[in-house]
């Protein structure tokens, strides 16, 4: 299938997403299917790299510069998101082309699997916060302190809100408190929170809370993965 796309003088972030549908053993996938999707993926990588070069060239030509590019497509779906100037190609396969929730970046090209997570700084009801969002959840976590200027906080104050898009309802977080060895001295202290990476098209996003309590020093990771309707909370000693 051949499509014509007019490229105007605006830099376009281009991304390739592979969605794994089904968890099966590699040996169970017919070799022909593996070769087909691998070949198509490599072809689209080359196409997107070439498109990136053309877009940069068009952008350097000044206002009103444009060029029409014709693409021959096989598998997958191609679309342009005008709201963020991004061009996407997406295909679904049961063949293991790339590991789930991984990404590779080459210039403006992003290649990966399950890249549905967004993370950024924001405010929630007037409180500085980080937002982690995927297809199912929108999670707000308190932004507090910094490595240079730690602030006092309680673990019960970290998770501000968890909104479930599927049921259109915020989850009840009353009574959610994190402690070490059930010691009451571990639930509060000096520390800070930090976001692992800002942006969109992420495989996952993590906010880490560092705590220096009267009992022990530790950290807590709040992780939201693409495609999941739950938060992963893990911790360890610092």
Mapping DSSP onto H, E and C, the string for 158-223 reads: CEEEEEECCCCEECCCCCCCCCCCCCHHHHEEEEEEEECCCEEEECEEEEEEEEEECCCEEEEEEE
Count of all residues that appear for the chain in the document:
238
SS3 at position 43:
helix
DSSP 181: T
Cβ neighbours for 25, distance < 8 A, ≥ 6 positions apart: none
The pLDDT assigned to 226 comes to 92
Rounded mean pLDDT, 191-220: 96
- Cα 106–86–40 angle (5° rounding)? 60
Longest CA span, the chain: 66
Which carries the bigger pLDDT value, residue 57 or residue 190?
190
Q: What is the pLDDT of residues 105-137, one digit of tens each?
A: 777 888 887 888 999 999 999 999 999 999 999
Q: What is the pLDDT of residues 26-69, one digit of tens each?
A: 444 455 566 566 777 788 888 888 888 888 888 787 777 777 77
What is the DSSP pairing of strand 137-142 with strand 151-154?
unpaired
The model's confidence at residue 3, banded by pLDDT at 50, 70 and 90, is: very low
């Amino acid at each position: 299938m051949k499509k014509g796309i007019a490229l105007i003088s605006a830099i376009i972030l281009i991304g390739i997403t592979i969605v794994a549908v089904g968890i099966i053993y590699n040996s169970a996938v017919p070799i022909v299917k593996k070769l087909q999707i691998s070949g198509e993926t490599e072809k689209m990588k080359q196409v997107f790299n070439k498109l990136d070069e053309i877009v940069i060239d068009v952008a350097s030509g000044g206002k009103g510069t444009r060029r029409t590019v014709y693409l021959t497509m096989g598998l997958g779906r191609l679309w342009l998101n005008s709201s963020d100037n991004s061009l996407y190609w997406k295909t679904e396969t049961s063949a293991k082309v790339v590991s789930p929730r991984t990404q590779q970046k080459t210039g403006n090209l992003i290649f990966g699997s399950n890249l549905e997570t967004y993370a950024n700084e924001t405010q929630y009801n007037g409180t500085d916060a980080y937002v982690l969002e995927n297809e199912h959840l929108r999670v707000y976590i308190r932004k507090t302190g910094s490595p240079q200027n730690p602030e006092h906080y309680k673990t019960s104050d970290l998770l501000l809100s968890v909104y479930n898009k599927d049921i259109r309802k915020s989850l009840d977080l009353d009574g959610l408190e994190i402690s070490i060895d059930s010691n009451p001295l571990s639930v509060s202290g000096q520390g800070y929170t930090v976001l692992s990476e800002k942006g969109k098209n992420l495989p996952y996003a993590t906010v880490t809370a560092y705590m220096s309590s009267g009992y022990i020093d530790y950290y807590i990771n709040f992780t939201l993965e693409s495609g999941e309707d739950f938060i992963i909370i893990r911790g360890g000693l610092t």
